[in-house]
Chains A and B, each alone.
Chain A
Amino acid sequence: MAAQGEDLNLEATELRLGLPGTVESEKQQAPPSGRSMKRNLIDVNNKCGSDKEESNGSSAQKCEKQDVHRPSKAQVVGWPPVRSYRKNCFQKKAESESTGVFIKVSMDGAPYLRKIDLKLYKGYADLLKDLQDMFKFKVVEYCEREGYNGSQFVPTYEDKDGDWMLVGDVPWNMFITSCKRLRIMKGSSEVSKGLKT
């Protein structure tokens, strides 16, 4: 951490409310309050200011490096200024988002299965791209009427009711909650032909 000596000097001359003799305890390591985070910045500025030989660019770089000490998920009370009600609405969403939706993916002819987390994908396009990379196959673009007509392989999934469905038929949000497993069928198989009609 930056020179302890400099910190103490600042403390001595700083006017703040508090009983004499109280020392700001180990806040440098994990600053929960914005005040300590700001102190980091003051140190950084002092250091940058005194290095007159260095060009602006590199002293700015130095500042950036020292900024990194700030822990990434440090929460400051009341910041950002979002009303509690609004925060609570989304904290619940965030909690459910943190648990992944892991499903098995099999492909006809492939010797072993893969497991993927559906929550990591933004939508069908994202998912299909990844599946094609993973299993080294290609599909044509999905269309509502024809499905994947013309593809050598057809992505399908088993839903909550045990039915085999064509990937892409339902909205993405509904898909990730109802999909139990994925199966990439050969386009020529009887089952996949059945799904097209």
Chain B
Amino acid sequence: MDPGKSRDSAETARVMQFPNDVLERILSLIDSHRDRSAVSLVSKAWYNAERWTRRHVFIGNCYAVLPQIVARRFPNIRGVMLKGKPRFSDFNMVPPNWGADVHAWLAVFADQYPLLEELRLKRMTVTDESLKFLARKFRNFRALSLVSCDGFSTDGLEAIATDCRHLTELDIQENGIDDISGNWLSCFPENFTSLEVLNFASLSSDVNFDALERLVSQCKSLKILKVNKNITLEQLQRLLVRAPQLTELGTGSFLQELTAHQYVELERAFISCKNLHALSGLWEATTLYLPVLYPACTELTFLNLSYAALQSEELAKLVAHCPHLQRLWVLDTVEDVGLEAVASNCPLLEELRVFPADPYDQDINRGVTESGFLAVSLGCRKLHYVLYFCRQMTNAAVARIVQNCPGFTHFRLCIMKPGQPDYLTNEPMDEGFGAVVKTCTNLRRLGVSGLLTDLTFEYIGRYAKNLETLSVAFAEGSDRGMQCILDGCPKMRKLEIRDSPFGNVALLSGLEKYESMRSLWMSACKVTLSGCKLLARQRPRLNVEVMKDEVDDGQSYKVYVYRTLAGPRTDAPSFVCTL
């Protein structure tokens, strides 16, 4: 320190010398991971106080650090969130057995965190053995959330239900698993009462309904219940009357021939759910039974209709009852007309996701277009998160959309035909995305598509100063495009690129950048092995992994680059080469 500033340093020293327990008390109130990271950088004392008081740790890339290092730094962890595979593995672009097996982590946790309560995994491989291990070794275990994971079966879930006596949360979402039977639900003990969250919507086997009904009756704290498609409307009614305190509901199939009496009973059940703010499921929902939802819709903030192929009129009638809607997920079967109804009825909407009902259908007359998106931007000025799959788009529409809603934080536009230009002018979509980054200064996540040249990336580099995540597919242009991004976006953390003409020059221009990012993915680009080797040599703290797709004829290589404290991974399969 500068001796001339001795008064300041004395001042600082006084502040730093909080008694440790006072400091720890204060820091234990801080939950945000980013805040805690910042706190840990202040001084050695604060680093220590922070690490002793941290209860939850989030590891965005399971290969960035070893579990032993985590345990050494943070001795008192009660909850862990781990993410594994690169995001493109959700779309079958990562071969099976790639890695991200949680078991090595569990083994260390069993030793270091025997009191572990929560485990949240995304894109990890979890075997039945791991689930059995988890149930056996952690006597205090409470919450398990598995999203987009693979490797386990319903047998593993049986172990969890049987042995986790204090389980409050079981959340199983969209995993590629072996759904052998629904018997796991019957494995909860007779007097089990602690469940608060139960989500088995994506499992397909039948569960024993009596067991489910009993479970729901006994768990008075149950707040979130999402059942699977096999639960009928009649059964749903029986569950609802036992759990009027629910705040989030995922229904089963919404199509069943009900008698008039059953219909009234169902309606009554929904009326009695006065705390419902999120609704999902609704498989096969049609105009006939959607009206039973209307009484429950007034307080709804999140409506997930992405498994119900509603037509525009059906959606229009439904959203007319949802004035407080903040988040809406739909299928593109609702078409522009449906979205116009959303615009008229849901002024508080902040998030919209439109998924394609038939992603491979090339018929441009189906689905949503730029006018649907435009309509929503006019009616919903608080819109800041959009995921939009469409078959046509124009630069002018995109520019107007962001003019109406300059507050976008997440703008993910997927024009489904690769490399498709503005359908009216035939020009690239450069100006549209340029408008997005120029106008939306808070943009954190961007997904681009359509015909794009270097200009798009020049705009992104120049204007998207808060951008953290960027997805690029089937772009045109040259190395310069990727260079602009790497040079220009100071907050870039996750960059994923496929089928775009960026080569070694582009890859190596990021030498200074990659250690400040979580990861880079490039597949079917123009990068060569020698470029990757050069990168690996220059930056030993990066893992540069090259994958040759076994299924393909040897033309496509996938490059995954990520910063790590753990060195090259020891569990890499034969098709992954760490340079």
Using a CB–CB cutoff of 8 Å, the interface residues on chain A facing chain B are 14-19, 22, 24-25, 33-35, 37-38, 41-42, 45, 60, 63-64, 72-73, 75-87, 89-90, 93-94, 122-123, 171-174
Residue pairs across A and B with Cβ atoms less than 8 A apart, 29 shown, are A15-B504, A15-B528, A16-B528, A17-B527, A19-B554, A24-B555, A33-B555, A34-B474, A34-B499, A35-B555, A38-B501, A41-B451, A41-B476, A45-B476, A63-B426, A73-B362, A77-B92, A78-B498, A79-B473, A80-B414, A81-B414, A81-B473, A82-B355, A84-B92, A85-B175, A86-B174, A90-B358, A171-B286, A173-B255
Q: Is the CB of A82 within 8 A of B526?
A: no
Q: Is the CB of B356 within 8 A of A80?
A: yes
Q: Is the CB of A78 within 8 A of B524?
A: no
Q: Is the CB of B356 within 8 A of A38?
A: no
Q: Which of A14, A45, A85 contacts B202 (CB 8 A)?
A: A85
Kindly count the residue-residue contacts between A and B in the assembled complex, taking CB atoms under 8 Å apart.
118
Q: A38-B418, A81-B414 are in contact. Are A174 and B555 (CB under 8 A)?
A: no
Chain B residues with CB under 8 A of A24:
555
- Bound Cα distance A168, B437 (Å): 51
Q: Which of A17, A38, A81, A174 contacts B90 (CB 8 A)?
A: A81
Q: Is the CB of B356 within 8 A of A78?
A: no
Q: A33-B556, A34-B498, A89-B307 are in contact. Are A82 and B476 (CB under 8 A)?
A: no
Q: Which of A18, A38, A93 contacts B474 (CB 8 A)?
A: A38
- Bound Cα distance A81, B503 (Å): 23
- B114 CB within 8 Å of chain A: no
CB closest residue in chain A, given B94: A78
Q: Is the CB of B93 within 8 A of A78?
A: yes
- Bound Cα distance A89, B228 (Å): 12
In the complex, how many angstroms separate the beta carbon of A10 from the nearest chain B beta carbon?
Answer: 11
Chain A residues with CB under 8 A of B93:
77-78
- B287 CB within 8 Å of chain A: yes
Chain B residues with CB under 8 A of A84:
90-92, 176
Chain A residues with CB under 8 A of B556:
33, 35
Chain A residues with CB under 8 A of B176:
84-85
Q: Is the CB of B287 within 8 A of A171?
A: yes
Q: Which of A73, A81, A83 has the most CB of B within 10 A?
A: A81
Q: Is the CB of B355 within 8 A of A76?
A: no
Chain B residues with CB under 8 A of A81:
88, 90-91, 414, 471, 473
- Extra 9 A-B pairs, beta carbons < 8 Å, given A38-B476, A83-B148, A171-B288: A15-B503, A18-B555, A63-B426, A77-B93, A82-B91, A82-B356, A82-B389, A86-B355, A173-B284
Interface of chain B residues 165 through 202 with chain A (CB within 8 A):
174-176, 202
CB closest residue in chain A, given B307: A89
CB closest residue in chain B, given A89: B307
In the complex, how many angstroms separate the beta carbon of B258 from the nearest chain A beta carbon?
Answer: 12
CB closest residue in chain B, given A70: B417
Q: A34-B418, A34-B524 are in contact. Are A72 and B362 (CB under 8 A)?
A: yes
- Bound Cα distance A75, B91 (Å): 13
- Bound Cα distance A75, B93 (Å): 13
Q: Is the CB of A38 within 8 A of B426?
A: no
Chain B residues with CB under 8 A of A63:
426
- B557 CB within 8 Å of chain A: yes
Q: Is the CB of A35 within 8 A of B524?
A: yes
- B306 CB within 8 Å of chain A: yes
In the complex, how many angstroms separate the beta carbon of B313 from the nearest chain A beta carbon?
Answer: 9
CB closest residue in chain B, given A76: B418
- Bound Cα distance A79, B474 (Å): 10
Chain B residues with CB under 8 A of A80:
356, 359, 389, 414, 416
Chain A residues with CB under 8 A of B358:
90, 94
- Bound Cα distance A75, B174 (Å): 22
Residues 379-395 of chain B, each 1 if its beta carbon lies under 8 Å from chain A, else 0: 00000000001000000
- B419 CB within 8 Å of chain A: yes
Chain A residues with CB under 8 A of B418:
34, 37-38, 76, 79
In the complex, how many angstroms separate the beta carbon of A69 from the nearest chain B beta carbon?
Answer: 14
Q: Is the CB of B419 within 8 A of A17?
A: no
Interface of chain B residues 534 through 579 with chain A (CB within 8 A):
546, 552-557
- B264 CB within 8 Å of chain A: no
CB closest residue in chain B, given A87: B359
In the complex, how many angstroms separate the beta carbon of A22 from the nearest chain B beta carbon?
Answer: 7
Chain B residues with CB under 8 A of A78:
88, 91-93, 498
In the complex, how many angstroms separate the beta carbon of A71 from the nearest chain B beta carbon?
Answer: 9
Q: Which of B148, B288, B474, B553 contacts A174 (CB 8 A)?
A: B288
- Bound Cα distance A152, B357 (Å): 40
- B26 CB within 8 Å of chain A: no
Chain B residues with CB under 8 A of A19:
554
- B309 CB within 8 Å of chain A: yes
In the complex, how many angstroms separate the beta carbon of A126 from the nearest chain B beta carbon?
Answer: 12
Q: A16-B526, A38-B418 are in contact. Are A83 and B557 (CB under 8 A)?
A: no
Q: Which of A14, A25, A63, A79 has the most CB of B within 10 A?
A: A79
- B45 CB within 8 Å of chain A: no
- Bound Cα distance A83, B175 (Å): 10
- Bound Cα distance A105, B419 (Å): 46
- B30 CB within 8 Å of chain A: no
Q: Is the CB of B414 within 8 A of A17?
A: no
Chain A residues with CB under 8 A of B22:
none
- Bound Cα distance A173, B554 (Å): 47
In the complex, how many angstroms separate the beta carbon of A62 from the nearest chain B beta carbon?
Answer: 11
In the complex, how many angstroms separate the beta carbon of A68 from the nearest chain B beta carbon?
Answer: 12
- Bound Cα distance A35, B527 (Å): 13
